[in-house]
Amino acid sequence: MSVRQAKVITVTSVKGGTGKTTTVLNLAGIIKMRKMKILIIDLDLYSGGIAASLNIQIEHDLFQLMDDLNNNRFHNLEDYITTYDEYIDVIPAPKDPKTAGKINSKYLQVIYAKAKLKYDVILVDTNHNLSDINLVNLDYSDQILYIITNDPVDLKNMRTMVSIYQDMDKKNYKIVLNEASDRQKDYFSFYDIKNIIKDNIDYTIPNSFYIKNIDKYVLDGKILTLDPHIRKKHKKGITNFEKMVQSILKEQKK
């Protein structure tokens, strides 16, 4: 058996509600089609949506895993995994928000070290706050995807983030413009957006990928990019997700 060494891919943003969780799941769908084994970790500690979106019953959550590591009760990572299907596993965010505040970022490294040997890709969903756990996670991420929208506040915050990356001379991030989650907004052209954020837009989730009945898929625990009807009707969006995955899996840590 070959030894795995998964990449940690984090999906984040500088504003809430830009489409992170949906993107994590869409990427998982595309990666699964490559027959690669994926672990999704939900680091949106207070309002994680991965388990609910996949309609899976949480068996153990991230808090239990960290609590057991802290108290020497941990044996196998498998004991803390909730399975979606043959290729996609999940470590859900804490079920009880009261325990979320007790999560300690120092155990992330241990969890990644163990998970990297068992999976091909670790996909991390986050919230947009620059909390301790998010900052530590960014440090351990091989690739970071910023999901932005055509919104002035979002773009100005992204500009600030871009300058932070430039100051640190870090380039392991990509910017994804999501045009699909809020079709009403199209104030700025591509040219304007690049001027505001002072960086490139690496990928887009096109306007045409707007899924009118998205909640129905969520209720059924279905991943959009795996659905035959969506794959047929929204080819441009699917192609863009495929391009994202192709380049993410190729990039090396810088």
Ligand X SMILES: Nc1ncnc2c1ncn2[C@@H]1O[C@H](COP(=O)(O)OP(=O)(O)OP(=O)(O)O)[C@@H](O)[C@H]1O
Q: Which residues bind Mg ion (CB under 5 A)?
A: 20-21, 49
Pairing of strands 82-83, 88-91: antiparallel
Query: Half-sphere exposure of 97 toward its Cβ, with a 13 Å CA cutoff?
Result: 5
Copy the structure tokens of residue 229: 């009807």
Which is closer to ligand X, CB of 74 or CB of 157?
A: 157
Closest residue to Mg ion using C-beta atoms: 21
Partner in contact with 69, chosen from ligand X, Mg ion, none, beta carbon below 5 to 8 Å by kind: none
Residues that bind ligand X (CB under 6 A): 13, 16-22, 44, 49, 127-128, 180-181, 209-211, 214
CB nearer Mg ion, residue 53 or residue 143: 53
* Cβ proximity to ligand X, 99 vs 129, nearer residue: 129
Choose among ligand X, Mg ion, none what residue 18 binds, the Cβ cut-off being 5 to 8 Å by kind.
ligand X
| Gyration radius from the chain CA atoms | 18
**From Mg ion, ligand X, none, interface partner of 211 (C-beta below 5 to 8 A by class):** ligand X
Q: Which CB atom, from 11 or from 244, has the smaller least distance to Mg ion? A: 11
Question: Could you tell which of Mg ion, ligand X, none binds residue 225, using a CB distance below 5 to 8 A set by kind?
Answer: none
The residue among 44 and 89 lying less far from ligand X, judged by its C-beta, is 44
Q: How far is CA 167 from CA 13, 164, 170, 194, 248, in A?
A: 19, 5, 8, 19, 23
Tell me the residue type at 89: D
Report how far apart, in Å, the C-alpha atoms of 144 and of each of 130, 135, 227, 244 are. Answer: 14, 12, 26, 12
Cα gap 241→53, rounded to integer Å: 19
Residue 81 beta carbon to ligand X: minimum distance, rounded to whole angstroms: 22
Residues 6+ away with beta carbon under 8 Å from 218: 52, 53, 55
Q: Select the binding partner of residue 13 from ligand X, Mg ion, none (C-beta < 5 to 8 A, by kind).
A: ligand X
